[in-house]
């Protein structure tokens, strides 16, 4: 399963469900690093060999476009009313990707196709 690093805005309930699904998930909250810049979050994820989980699509898309090597970025639309659905969509999306390294993966709620 994937090694993931959830940023500050990613819900802890979805982190717990991803862990239950077998993923190795660490988070900014677990590390006690709330309030950090996106570049610092990515640097921490890179040093730990983890893909970033975020709702912050625009900023992390920009960071991805710098072509800095990373372990992956998974950008998700919010689904605060269905954290289980969010976690399952992430799981279903990433388990079929052989290597998340340097990939920018977008996971969207079924009714949120146009959201950033």
| Domain covering 3-107, topology | Rossmann fold (3.40.50)
Per-residue HEC secondary structure of 39-98 comes to: HHHHHHHHHHCCEEEECCHHHHHHHHHCCCCCCCEEEECCCCCCHHHHHHHHHHHHCCCC
Res 112: pLDDT: 60
Q: Which residues contact 48 (CB under 8 A, 6 or more apart)?
A: 3, 5, 26
Q: Which of 36-40, 65-69, 79-83, 103-107 has the lowest mean pLDDT?
A: 36-40
Residue 35 pLDDT level (bands cut at 50, 70, 90) = low
- Pairing mode, if any, of strands 3-6 and 24-27? parallel
Res 29: pLDDT: 84
């Amino acid at each position: 399963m994937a090694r993931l690093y959830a940023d500050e805005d990613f819900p802890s309930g979805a982190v717990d469900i991803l862990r239950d699904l077998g993923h190795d998930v660490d988070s900014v909250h677990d590390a006690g690093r709330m309030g950090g810049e996106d570049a610092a979050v990515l640097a921490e994820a890179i040093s730990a060999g983890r893909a970033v989980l975020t709702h912050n699509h625009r900023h992390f898309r920009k960071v991805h476009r710098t072509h800095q090597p990373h372990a992956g970025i998974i950008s998700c639309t919010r689904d605060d009313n269905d954290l289980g659905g969010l976690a399952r969509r992430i799981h279903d999306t990433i388990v079929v990707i052989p290597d998340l390294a340097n990939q920018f993966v977008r996971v969207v709620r079924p009714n949120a196709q146009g959201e950033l």
